[in-house]
Amino acid sequence: MKTADECFICQGLDRAVARSEDGRAVVMPFRDPFFEGHVVVAPATHTDTIDVDPATWSAMGTLIPDAIRGASDEDTAKCYLLALGDVDTGHLHFHVVPKKNGDVSLGQYVFGPEGWNVSR
């Protein structure tokens, strides 16, 4: 698990574009956006999934719809909401990834013709 000093969210909190009213959660641009407008919603302090308190879950739940609206415009076909935790373990975050009309679908990277697109 990464520490706060190694965490891209903790180290990028000064780039937050929105905060919950209670300051428990933030919206910030993702460091390596898949599509333009890709942001993450995360606790404002270094918090792993198992340790998130109900008030912080609530703060993130309030920010996620705002982040989706903020990432979308008239050319947005859909907005993906993802929680992966593969690489950046140690700080819970949700990706909000707007897909414009004509952009590739992310589904092909997740689901293959036989189901989950992973090798085991």
Binding residues (CB under 5 A) for Zn ion: these are 4, 7, 9-10, 46, 91
Which residue's Cβ lies closest to Zn ion?
7
Tell me how far, at minimum, the Cβ of 115 lies from Zn ion, in Å. Answer: 32
Nearer to Zn ion, 48 or 103 (CB): 48
Nearer to Zn ion, 63 or 79 (CB): 63
In angstroms, what is the minimal distance from the CB of 4 to Zn ion?
5
**Which C-beta is closer to Zn ion: that of 90 or that of 100?**
90
Q: What is the sign of the dihedral through the CA atoms of 15, 34, 1 and 52?
A: positive
Task: Enter the DSSP assignment of 101.
Answer: T
Distance in angstroms (rounded) separating the CA atoms of residues 97 and 81 = 7
Structural tokens at position 21: 């009213």
Q: Is the dihedral of CA 59, 92, 9, 109 positive or negative?
A: negative
CB of 27 to Zn ion, least distance (A): 15
